[in-house]
Amino acid sequence: MPRQLRVLVVEGQEDSREALRRQLETWSCVVDTATDGEDGVRLALQGNYDAVILDVNLPEIDGLEVGQMIAQKHAPARPYLCAFSTFEAGPLERERTKLAGFDKHIEKGSAASMNELEALMKELRARLSSQQAALDKGSAN
């Protein structure tokens, strides 16, 4: 059985942070949370996360800058970076997150966004299982 996904959620709004943490835990993820960008960078550098979900509109250091800092400090092996922004985000916001090095951009606030996030967790879990199987096969030879 593959290990659980380790996810860091960096979200400034307590209600949103806790709701996201609880939802990820129902999908069998191990979740840590941070309330701001500084805390998020610190935890990301200390932990071995499979994914980091960042609110784009964080207080003090914005989520785009936090994502860039995490990507630079973890290069080349970095966690999957997912921007999580308000449902009003448009093409410009998506382009900004892409240019900042994020792997995915999900607009929060709808059932569709939770479906998209669940699909992402399944995709990351499958990727992790494939990597583990390759490692197991390599060590068996």
Domains of the chain, by residue range, sit at 6-140
Closest CA to 106 of 118, 30, 22: 118
Query: Band of the pLDDT at 2, cuts 50, 70, 90?
Result: low
The verdict on domain 6-140 having CATH code 3.40.50.2300 is: yes
Look up the pTM and report it: 0.89
SS3 of the chain: helix, strand, coil, percent, to 5: 50, 20, 30
pLDDT at 133 over 90: no
Q: Looking at residues 19-48, what average pLDDT do you find?
A: 94
Top mean-pLDDT range of 5-9, 42-46, 55-59, 131-135? 5-9
